[in-house]
Amino acid sequence: MSATRSDIRSPEPGTARLEITDLDIHFATDGGDVHAVDGVSLSVAPGEILAIVGESGSGKSVTARSILGLLPETAEDSGAILVSGTDVVGLSGRRLRELRGEDVSMIFQEPSSAMNPVFPIWWQIGEGLKAHRPKITRKEIRAEAITALESVGIPDPAERIDRYPHEFSGGQKQRIMIAMALALGAELIVADEPTTALDVTVQAEILELLRDVRDRFGTSVILITHNMGVVADLADSVAVMYHGSIIERAGVQELFANPRQEYTQKLLAAVPHLGRRSAWTALSTQQQQEIEDAAPVVVAKDLVIEYPGRLGRAPFRAVKGVDFSIRAGEVYGLVGESGSGKTTIGRTIAGLERATGGSLQVLGHQMNGVREKDFKPVRRRIGFVFQDPATSFNPHLTIEECIAEPLVVHEPGQTTTQRSQQVRSLLESVELPAAYATRYPHELSGGQRQRISLARALVLDPELLIADEPTSALDVSVQATVLDLFRDLQARLGFAALFISHDLAVVDSLAHRIGVLLRGELVEDGHGPDVLQRPQHDYTRRLIASLPVPDPVEQAKRREAFQREWGRGATD
């Protein structure tokens, strides 16, 4: 998998928006020195969209953050990073603040940890505007915030600019982060997994938005992503990172058609394809019948989940009369756009939200009106993989302590040694070294934290696993490994699972039955091939048409067909 420097091709010489030369980055950690970036050199031309791909921990995000001077104090960097001719390495804090926003902006990977939870959205968008335009008025900030939210597809922006981050879904928060990056019109945008939490229809809109910004203003974009369909749809060229180095760079069509490095070939081979490996058709007739005959562990009938209004506002109904069931040993996939109610349903099944109408039976317990003390013993039978791993871990605990926390609560008889052995075994099962047990969450990449989240959910051998976007932050090779692990564990242990995702190809490969949510209503429900290959509802057909495929030529045809049939920006 190694490559010499001469193997790596760069764009033609010219006036570059970004020029990185021999970048080296080291981190001082409790476990010793970490060489995160090793001699990276690359350039980005005006109007170019460069995708940087590679596995979690390969150095993609560290390289991206270094462009804005956002490395922590424990980092030591050398080399040169020229942004519009200005070397960022060693730049003063004041000069960096002037550069950020106007010359280069960043769309962060985890919006929940990038936003301030105590300020409304308009204030957070206005913070950057005010830093560069001190005389801007509150009225002007609010007007520009409304325009920014509208441009990224947030509904009712005039009303929602006064809301707080926790009042938005994960995908909506990601769109707000994109609005913030676009607000000051930077010539270079660094987008670190900008579509990770988005459903495919909104993802298609965001990609079209970034493409439109590039075309209208000549904005350059560095796209950090693990989604090869997104790369095929948006990128002009691709750089592949492996162990901190760029091992291959080529135009997007050339790279997909003729990958030269073994690692690049492995990445492309691991990409899931819709319809290629349906979980339901992979079962034998006997296995299918066993699932059909199994007793349900979750039954929802006319389920309603409503949030009370505040300050005189009407209540918000997130889930509107939904009917579905999950049988023992079955994986039920739940898909739909951001804000459709997917995560709300998952959290209600786990007892983290309250059912306010209808009936919801979970492992024999009625959730409508359930008391916490009655449901608490049932929680040890349920595992939960949260959507945003960065905010689901205690930053003061080591990885071992985070994973072992459920054991401490529910298995008090275990010794410390027994817990440690179980944790280290789980780490290896999710493709992480056992030595990571002594690290802290902030020392891991987003994808590594997501694997830790999966290990924690499995530590008690649950009867029901609720997985909320469990592979959203993983590169395709690790995603394939984790999905195989998930599939093998589910088949061996026989637990039921609710699998929430916006990635239709992943859901197809894992879920036996699939439900499609639209604005809190279940518009389609059935076995995987019936829903994804023979969809009945117009919204399901649009979801499938929006899904990018890992082939630049085919994806260009699909994008044109989608725009002809559905129009640009269609989300209804």
Lowest mean pLDDT among 96-110, 297-311, 406-420: 96-110
Question: What per-residue confidence (pLDDT) applies to 466?
Answer: 94
Share of the chain above pLDDT 70, in %: 94
Question: What per-residue confidence (pLDDT) applies to 556?
Answer: 84
Take residue 557 and report the two structure tokens written for it. 């045809």
**Residues recorded for the chain:** 572
Residue type, 62: V
Average pLDDT, the chain: 85
Region 323-330: what's the mean pLDDT?
A: 95
pLDDT in tens, 149-205: 887 778 899 999 999 998 887 678 878 888 888 777 788 999 888 876 677 777 787
pLDDT band at residue 473 under the 50/70/90 scheme: low
Q: Which residues contact 103 (CB under 8 A, 6 or more apart)?
A: 83, 84, 86, 186, 187, 188
Question: What per-residue confidence (pLDDT) applies to 410?
Answer: 86
pLDDT band at residue 52 under the 50/70/90 scheme: very high
Angle at 94 between CA 93 and CA 100, to 5 degrees: 85
Residue 572 pLDDT > 60: no
Query: Which residue segments constitute the domains of the chain, with CATH numbers given?
Result: 5-11+46-57+91-269 (3.40.50.300), 279-549 (3.40.50.300)
pLDDT band at residue 285 under the 50/70/90 scheme: very high
Lowest mean pLDDT among 148-157, 445-454, 455-464: 445-454
Lowest mean pLDDT among 44-53, 402-411, 461-470, 481-490: 481-490
Residue found under tokens 């242990």: 493
Would the CA dihedral through 469, 474, 477, 482 be positive or negative?
negative
Question: What per-residue confidence (pLDDT) applies to 1?
Answer: 41
Take residue 244 and report the two structure tokens written for it. 């901190």
Q: How many CB atoms are located within 10 Å of the residue 488 CB?
A: 11
Question: What per-residue confidence (pLDDT) applies to 571?
Answer: 40
Question: What per-residue confidence (pLDDT) applies to 164?
Answer: 94
pLDDT band at residue 112 under the 50/70/90 scheme: confident
Residue found under tokens 């660094």: 190
Beta bridge partners of 516: 335, 524
Shortest CA distance to 149 belongs to which of 183, 119, 109? 183
Q: Which residues contact 153 (CB under 8 A, 6 or more apart)?
A: 175, 202, 205, 206, 569, 571
What is the C-alpha separation between 402 and 437, in angstroms, rounded?
Answer: 9
pLDDT in tens, 241-263: 998 999 999 999 999 999 999 98
What is the C-alpha separation between 480 and 273, in angstroms, rounded?
Answer: 12
Contact 119, 180 (CB under 8 A): no
Lowest mean pLDDT among 45-54, 240-249, 273-282, 435-444: 273-282
Question: What per-residue confidence (pLDDT) applies to 321?
Answer: 93
Q: How many CB atoms are located within 10 Å of the residue 321 CB?
A: 15
Residue type, 413: G
